[in-house]
Every structure is written in C-alpha cells, then in structure tokens.
Structure 1
Amino acid sequence: MHEMTSADLKSSVRHLWELCFRDTPEFIDLYFRLRYRDALNEAILRDGQVVSALQLIPYELQTWGARLPLAYLSGVCTHPQARRQGLMRRLLRQTHRRLYAEGCPVSSLIPAEPWLFDCYATSGYAPLFVYDWRRLSIAPGDDTVTVSEYREDSRDVYAYFSRKMAERPCCVLHSEEDFGVVLADLYLSEGSLWVARRDGTVTGLAFCVPTPDVCRIGECLADTPAVARTLVNRACEHTFMQETECLHPVAPDEAGRPLGMLRIIRVADVLALHARTHPDTEACWRISDPDIPENNVCVRLSQGTATPAAPDEGIPTGIGELAARLWSDERPYMSLMLN
C-alpha cells in the first residue's frame, strides 16, 4: 500500500466499495468522511489498484464481566473481476495476522448476504450474534416522563446510552465518537433519536427510522417497560403509524435470527479470561487455526486457570468451534452497526 498516496488509496477503496455494494452516494460519502481511515484499512493491491479491502473498526465486546477490544471488519469486498481467485481468503488471513500482532483478542463481521455465513466460517468465524424484531403497538405508557427529539450535543444522552448498553451481559459497545457516526447515519435515513426524561434526567432512548410499512426502532433502552412504551408511542405518533418493529436481544430459549459472526484472534488471552470468570469449567482442547500458528495449542481449563496440556489430551477443536463453545450460551448482541 506504500506505493499509493493516501488520497489515491482512499479513492481506490471507495471505487471498489461503489462497485461491490448497493449503498447510496450519500451513505458512501458519510462512511468515507466519518469512518474510513488509512490506518484502519487492510487491502490487496494489483497493478496499482485496490482489488480487495476491508476496514478494521475498533469496538469493545462486553463479555464475562470484562471488556475485550474487538475489531469489526467493515466493508469486506473484492473487485468483481478478481473474484474466485482466493483474494478474500488471503485478505482475511493477513488481517487476522495483523490483529494478532496488534494484540486484539477477537474480531467480528456481519455477512452482507446469507450465503457468506458459510464462506466466513471457513476463515474461523462463528455465527454467534443473534437478534429478533418485536412488533409493538400503541399502548398506555408512563405519564411522568416527557419525550423529545434529540437535537443538540448532550453528554448526558451518550452517558445514558453507554451505561444501558453496558448493562447487557454480552454486547458490542459504542464509543462516544461512534455514537456520533450512528446519529449521522440515523439522520441520513430520515430517522430520529427520541429521548425520555423525568425531571430533566434521561430515562430512555429510542433510535427510530420510518419505513413505508412500519416505524423501525433499531435500539430501545429504558429504565422501565412503561418508559419504553412511551417512546414507542411517540415514534408511532411521529410517523403516523399504529405499530413499530423493535430490534431486541434474544433470550437463551429463543431461536433468533443470525446477524454477526465472531472469531477468536488470540486464543491464550481469551481462554485465560474465560477460565478466570468460569472457574467451574473443566475442559481440554487441542485448537487448530489455519491463519494464526500461535493459536495451534492444547490448553486445559481447570479451577480458574488455563494451562498448556499435551496434544493427545485435548479434544480436537477448530478456531470457529472454540468460539461457539465459549459464547453460544451468552447470546452475543450487536446493534447500530451501520451494516
């Protein structure tokens, strides 16, 4: 990538994006103005042009009572004329090696098409992030709160948003900078952020986008169900609709819909944290990772520790299977990801 200037690199990545995705010019402008950075870019060049690329957007994954740095692979694409040549597999491999060197423990992505779930599974990703939509109609709410549309930079709104997201046991968290990007995308879609307050204190938020048939709430956070109902009512009134469709986490006994995939980048770090936070776990896994040789280890989890074990003692476990073993019961959740 050193052969290109920064401006040329950005222009080439943008051109590739325009070829591969059906996004509006307005959204692409927003993405390359607020999200794109050369330092976050990972690409393969051919004849001076980018033929495969992605962006590594930094997030945190709250899990097991801790916060793990997480790299979200955004805009993963390959030039139409360069497909079926192994470039995407090569790009992901070099991305995983880079993330390992940078000390990032986990990565995630959202497949753009259903068939890509199987494709990314071959690179070690497990389909762990799930969600569902809940239909909600106008119903009595909480008369003690007032609801207004978010218009100005208000630190108490982000503080509330951050705190409520962090109350979820396994969830991708948004930084304050990313919160600004989320709002910019919301407004681009002619959406609104509704804020519920009681005596000036924030008690609920709803990120709403109108569609021809229903008002969609991409995230609703509230102190009580009654406050959430009041936010739903306001969204319905604003869009002249009788019901909303609200994105929500999935309970352990619910099937849910697949959304995002998770990959372990640094096995030793992840297993050490899991062992500390799950001291009752007794297991021994012989892990295989085709992309990161350092992850090809045999590890025993016992009494809160993760220690090396003899290879013949461990159950053969692929890197994607390991992620599924560790997180399937956690029901990881992500929202407002600009996917």
Structure 2
Amino acid sequence: MSIKEQVRQLWKTCFDDDDAFIDLYFRLRYTDKINKVIEEDGKVISALQMIPYPMTFCGQTVATSYISGACTHPDYRARGAMRRLLQETHRAMFAEGVMFATLIPAEEWLKGYYARSGYATCFHYGLVKKVINSYEQPVDNSVSCLNMSKIDLLKTPQERIYPYFYEQMNRRPCCVQHTPDDFHVVLSDLALSKGDVWIVDKNGVMSGLVFCLMDGNTLSVKEILLSDEADFAEVLRQLAASYRAERLECIVPRADEMHELGMARLIDVASCLKVFSAVYRGEGLYIRVTGDEAIPQNNGYYTVLPGKVSRDMQEGQTYVTFTISELTAFILHDLHPYMSLMLN
C-alpha cells in the first residue's frame, strides 16, 4: 500500500469526514511532497500535510504553511508521535524558507496541545448576525444600482472571478491568501457543500463576490468581498431575500462579536523580525527568544530598531524573554491576522 493510500486510510480512521470530501481532498489537495509521516511497525501511524499559503504581512507577502490533517492512529496515541512529527515538520518548514506555520484546531482542547509546540491563538473572525423579518419580499433590483447573479460553480471559468478575488483579498494587510490552484479547491469544496458564489455588479463593473450556503433556515456567508462602492447592508438584504432566509450570519475580519479561529507559530524569527522592522516605528525592542527545541536557530538575542535587526546583545539594555509562542502572539497581536475559506 502506498503512503498516500495509508494516509487516506488513517484519515478515515481518525476523522468523521464523508467519502465525498475525502475524495476531493486527496484528489485536489494532497501530494506526497507536502505530506509528512511517522512510520512504525512498517506502517504510517501519524501524518499531516503542510499546505503552502502566501500571507500579506507588514507590507510584504511572506510564505506560510498550513498544517492540515494532523492525526495519529488510536493504537499509537499518547506516545509522543505527533509532537515528534510537528518538530520534524517545523524544521522542514524552516529549511524551505517558511516564516509562519498556521493551523485551525479541530477541538478546543487541542489549543493547549498545540501551544506546547509553540503555537498561539492569533487568528480571529467577526460575526455579523441578522434576523430577517421581511424575507418573503421578492428581490427588486430596480430599486438598487446593485445587480447580483449566482454563478455555476462547475461551469464558470474561475479566470472570470479570481482576479477580483485576488485583488480584494490582497487589500487585507495581514491575511492568508489563496493561490489560483487553491481557489479551485475552495470552489470545489463549496460545490460539494451545495454552497454558492454570487457576483455583485454595479453599473456593469464587478463590485463584489459572496461565498455562502444555507444551513437550515440560516444563510451562512463564509466570505464577502466588496469594492468601496458596494453597500454591505444592501448586498446582505438581497441575499437574504433570494434565499428566503429567516436568519443570516456573515463572517467578516472585524466586528463587534469576535471569535477565535486559528493558531500560528513563528518558524523563522530572524526573517520575521527583519520584515517587521521595516514598518516598526517605535523605540528599540530588545528580545531574547528561548526554549525553541524544534528550531534552535531561533533562540538568542535580537535588537529591533526601525528598519534594522541585529542579533548581538547590547550591554546596558534589558532584554525581554519570550518563548516562541509568546513572540508569535506579540508580533501578530496588533496586526489582527485573518484567514477564511480554509478546509476546516
């Protein structure tokens, strides 16, 4: 049995996903190149995939790697296999020039588990909720300069919508981005879930994209990208009317109601601080990183000044000690990192 077949079998053992999603994942997302495993007794007992994603960060686009499908066979758990696999994966990421690792814990208790490997909860999302009182009213585009049309996910060439998607996503200053190949996976997964993508058109110009699906009587908007001229409330009103939804929940980067989503881990501290220093305008930061067993190259002293980073320890300065998890949280906290449309 090939490694791929063993990993697929392990996935089915550990997760509750249906065969249709597993088929999609191993057809469109999985490759041996991004796969990491631990083998014992002649078989794969622990596995994960490190999926590359670009991310906007401090005015640049940097390399990140999203950990997907992390699992260990029930018969081999509580023996440190996943911790060892994560360490090997983090070292591989460092060698490949990755700056951050990211993941979305499948369960609440996993946040503490991943924290022991250097992760911090950094990604949040806002949630806008609306109760629709007039859903029975038909959509009347004649009273609005916005026109909305639903595309056929299986037939519409993605080249028609990806340039707009890419442009709008890149406007977000600290955000995990989707490549054209990954965008194809996103659309395929949405089609599998019987979701929809809507194009918002204003005066003949594409002014928005909305990714959504119905969950009972609730319309769940997974992503909404709008140009400045498109009205957010009007788009949601027209969507709710189209689906005759009684409730609507819309995920956005920032809102009054915020929720935890994903975790991040710094992989290359020196490279990160170099990019960070280019936009840093404060007084000197004097940082000591300690305790990174997986990537010992990260440990040591860093002096961060506007536009400059050095690894020497300056006498007379007080250095603040950070674990890799604490430094990750410190660097990303005020940047409000965001991710959406992940296969979680």
On whether the aligned pair clears a TM of 0.5, the verdict is yes
**Amino acid corresponding to residue 78 of structure 1 in structure 2:** T
Q: Secondary structure at the match of 2:260?
A: strand
Corresponding residue of 1:172: 176
Q: Secondary structure at the match of 1:325?
A: helix
Output the CA distance in 2 between the equivalents of 1:101 and 1:315.
Answer: 27
User: Are 1:333 and 2:338 counterparts?
Assistant: yes
* Gap change, CA 1:154 and 1:119, over 3 Å in 2: closer
Corresponding residue of 2:137: none
Offset, 1:137: 5.1
Moved more, 227-236 or 217-226: 227-236
**Amino acid corresponding to residue 285 of structure 1 in structure 2:** I
Offset, 1:106: 1.0
User: Are 1:269 and 2:274 counterparts?
Assistant: no
TM-score scaled to structure 1, two decimals? 0.92
Corresponding residue of 2:44: 50
User: Are 1:299 and 2:297 counterparts?
Assistant: no
Offset, 1:154: 4.3
Offset, 1:150: 1.6
User: Are 1:189 and 2:193 counterparts?
Assistant: yes
TM-score scaled to structure 2, two decimals? 0.91
User: Are 1:12 and 2:6 counterparts?
Assistant: yes
User: Are 1:113 and 2:107 counterparts?
Assistant: yes
Task: Report the aligned-residue RMSD.
Answer: 2.0
* Gap change, CA 1:255 and 1:239, over 3 Å in 2: closer
Output the CA distance in 1 between the equivalents of 2:307 and 2:121.
Answer: 27
Output the CA distance in 2 between the equivalents of 1:94 and 1:154.
Answer: 36
* Gap change, CA 1:229 and 1:155, over 3 Å in 2: farther
- Confirm or deny: 8 A CA contact 1:136 1:232 kept in the other structure: no
Deviations 1:108-149 (A, max 9, x none): 000010010011001001100001321135689971121111
User: Are 1:92 and 2:86 counterparts?
Assistant: yes
Output the CA distance in 1 between the equivalents of 2:109 and 2:227.
Answer: 38
* Gap change, CA 1:166 and 1:137, over 3 Å in 2: farther
**Amino acid corresponding to residue 308 of structure 1 in structure 2:** R
- Confirm or deny: 8 A CA contact 2:128 2:257 kept in the other structure: no
- Confirm or deny: 8 A CA contact 1:204 1:227 kept in the other structure: no
Output the CA distance in 1 between the equivalents of 2:7 and 2:260.
Answer: 28
**Amino acid corresponding to residue 328 of structure 1 in structure 2:** H
Count of aligned pairs between the two proteins: 331
Provide structure 2 residue ranges, at least 5 long, that are not aligned to the other structure.
135-139
Output the CA distance in 2 between the equivalents of 1:231 and 1:191.
Answer: 17
- Confirm or deny: 8 A CA contact 2:202 2:230 kept in the other structure: no
- Confirm or deny: 8 A CA contact 2:146 2:230 kept in the other structure: no
Moved more, 279-288 or 85-94: 279-288
Corresponding residue of 1:309: 312
Deviations 1:272-310 (A, max 9, x none): 111111132421111021210111110011232110132
- Confirm or deny: 8 A CA contact 2:266 2:328 kept in the other structure: yes
* Gap change, CA 1:323 and 1:46, over 3 Å in 2: same
Q: Secondary structure at the match of 2:213?
A: strand
Output the CA distance in 2 between the equivalents of 1:319 and 1:143.
Answer: 51
Q: Secondary structure at the match of 1:284?
A: strand
Output the CA distance in 2 between the equivalents of 1:314 and 1:228.
Answer: 46
**Amino acid corresponding to residue 25 of structure 1 in structure 2:** D
- Confirm or deny: 8 A CA contact 1:129 1:260 kept in the other structure: yes
**Amino acid corresponding to residue 263 of structure 1 in structure 2:** R
1:76-225 residue pairs with structure 2 within 5 A? 76-136=70-130, 143-151=144-152, 152-224=156-228
Offset, 1:196: 0.9
Offset, 1:225: 7.5
State the identity as a percent.
39
- Confirm or deny: 8 A CA contact 2:217 2:246 kept in the other structure: no
**Amino acid corresponding to residue 194 of structure 1 in structure 2:** W
* Gap change, CA 1:325 and 1:228, over 3 Å in 2: same
Output the CA distance in 2 between the equivalents of 1:230 and 1:56.
Answer: 39
